[in-house]
Amino acid sequence: MRVQSTKSYLKIILILFLLIGIGCFLFLLKDKSYKEHQIDTKQALSSIHEGIDKTKVLEQNYRHHYTKTRHQHLRELPQDVKEKIIKGQTDGLKIVFLTFDDGPTEHTQEILDILEHYEVQATFFVNTYEDQEQTYREIARKGHLLANHTQSHNYKLYDDTDAFVADVHALDDYLSKTSRGRYRKGMFRFPGGSLNVNAPCRKAILDRGYNYVDWNVSSGDGFSDPVPVPQTIANVVNGVRQHNVSVVLCHGETKENTRKALPDILEILLKEGYSFYVMDSDLPYTRHI
Ligand SMILES: [Zn+2]
């Protein structure tokens, strides 16, 4: 009887050990898979972090590239040519700064298409036309320079220097906002040209760091009477041939004959070896006063 009960005890103890053993085994198994799961999660997290880091690097590179190239779409003058112009040593140069005033209008796109066809870049002295918001961006996007020609193009403002300056600044603000960072403040043209302006307004512009420019070649389209197309071509081509550095005045966005004359003008001048650039506010340009 005693031997029998000892055997039963042993059986129970054995079963207990077995159960504890199974329990430990299951626990370890669970722990292992939990740890494996933890490792997997860690790996997943670290690859996510790696991905984020890579994205950050790419983003930084893009930003750097973008900042670096944002203004490189402007066809800028080679450094040696810039130095020659600054020193007034322009012999042998065949440089043209084509300028369009008083836009943008619904006809600006036609001009942009012609310029694109001939791979020519120009400077657009614009005013504020809120219905043309997209066009300002398009001018800049196509590699041309947006430049200040006052917000309102109102000659009466010359009688009040403060109001005139406010009008100029209003266009700067508008262009900065509208062109999404592609507007470089600096180049300015007085409505009607500098001869149309009094000394205080000219001084105000220079004091505020603008470089103002008039023109030494005119298409002749600044008056109300339309200039025939052949005459417009002759005005520009003959005018450019007389200068090493030409600043050409056009109002092609409001004058149909100028738009019609533009392809021939570019065709002739490009064949004759002239190069077209956007203006650079660091350079001296032709001024009437
Ligand atoms: Zn004008």
Domain ranges of the chain: 1-69, 79-276
Average predicted confidence (pLDDT) for the chain:
86
Residue-level pLDDT at 89: 97
Residue-level pLDDT at 16: 63
Residue-level pLDDT at 129: 98
From ligand 1's centre to the CA of 8, what distance in Å?
Answer: 114
From ligand 1's centre to the CA of 240, what distance in Å?
Answer: 21
From ligand 1's centre to the CA of 102, what distance in Å?
Answer: 5
Report the percentage of the chain scoring pLDDT > 70.
75
Regions of the chain with pLDDT less than 70: 1-10, 12-74
Residue-level pLDDT at 283: 97
From ligand 1's centre to the CA of 250, what distance in Å?
Answer: 10
Q: Are 252 and 258 in contact (CB under 8 A)?
A: yes
From ligand 1's centre to the CA of 148, what distance in Å?
Answer: 10
Q: Rounded to whole angstroms, how far apart are CA atoms 248 and 193?
A: 13
Cα 29 to the center of its chain, rounded Å: 62
DSSP for 131-153 reads GGHHHHHHHHHTTPEEEE--SS-
Residue-level pLDDT at 75: 72
DSSP for 39-50 reads HHHHHHHHHHHH
pTM summary value: 0.76
From ligand 1's centre to the CA of 251, what distance in Å?
Answer: 8
Residue-level pLDDT at 11: 74
Residue-level pLDDT at 66: 40
Pick 79-276's CATH classification: 3.30.1330.20, 3.20.20.370, 3.90.1150.10, 1.10.10.10: 3.20.20.370
